[in-house]
Amino acid sequence: MILTLLGAPGSGKGTQGRRLAERLGLAYLSSGDLLRSAISRGTETGLRAKPYLDAGHLVPDDVLIPLVCTELLAIPQAGVVLDGFPRTRDQALALDATDDCAVDTALMLEVPDDVVVDRLASRLMCGDCGSSFSAVSHRPKREGVCDACGGPLKRRGDDAPETVRHRLAVYHESESRLAEYYDERGVLLKIDGNAPEDQVTEALLKATETLARLPLPAPTFQAAPAA
């Protein structure tokens, strides 16, 4: 089973994606975490991706798609919750065209922009496992230390206000076409991501069950147009 979470930066995809994966016994895969790990290891992919992350631009597909698809195909579990991938219609087409990687359910977390901007201004992220905390509303038990793995908590460079504004603009530019694509396939559900965290998790689980019960139309794939 492949679930993907759609939503603006700061909409809770990381936190909810980890919870959903744990509750459903699936793996969790975040394209942002994969890229940050490649950057910190200084791989060729990381070196190519870094300027895009720093500026809040989307990483080009020829760098990103092989990175995510290689990881995805290596996952031994029954399925995966994807966070941050696909982000564009072309990425969705590429994923659906990869053997056994068609998305079964796309869950979109809807959160107003001003809420997202506030959340990102106080976000702290674990440098080791990628778990998110807030310096205001979801403080770690020990200051500067991740509750989940004990790793160091830091602010993300791309959570600076100017970069956040750009990331939101990038998100809104591609969001409607991506949502439309999954809606046409009958696999999209929108969830209020501005509710308390536990309620969002329950709504996501319920949505997943609802979609799993619907007879899915067989996906029809077209190759992504050449760039």
Interface with ligand AMP by CB under 6 A: which residues? Answer: 9, 31-32, 35, 52-53, 56-59, 64, 84-87, 91, 158, 167
Catalytic residue among 36, 48, 87, 119: 87
Q: Which is nearer to ligand AMP, 119 or 167 (CB)?
A: 167
Which residue matches tokens 């995805």?
A: 72
167 included as an active-site residue: yes
165 included as an active-site residue: no
Find the radius of gyration of the CA atoms of the chain. Answer: 17
Token output for 122 = 């106080």
Instruction: Give the residue from 170, 197, 176 showing the smallest Cα distance to 188.
Output: 176
Are the CB atoms for 187 and 86 separated by under 8 Å?
Answer: no
Q: How far is the CB of 35 from ligand AMP (least distance, A)?
A: 5
Q: How far is the CB of 85 from ligand AMP (least distance, A)?
A: 4
CA torsion sign, 158 to 159 to 162 to 164?
Answer: positive
Q: How far is the CB of 82 from ligand AMP (least distance, A)?
A: 9
Q: Which is nearer to ligand AMP, 167 or 185 (CB)?
A: 167
141 included as an active-site residue: no
Instruction: Give the residue from 184, 182, 2, 4 showing the smallest Cα distance to 107.
Output: 4
213 included as an active-site residue: no
Catalytic residue among 13, 18, 19, 48: 13
Catalytic residue among 36, 48, 119, 156: 156
13 included as an active-site residue: yes
CB-CB neighbours of 86 under 10 Å = 26
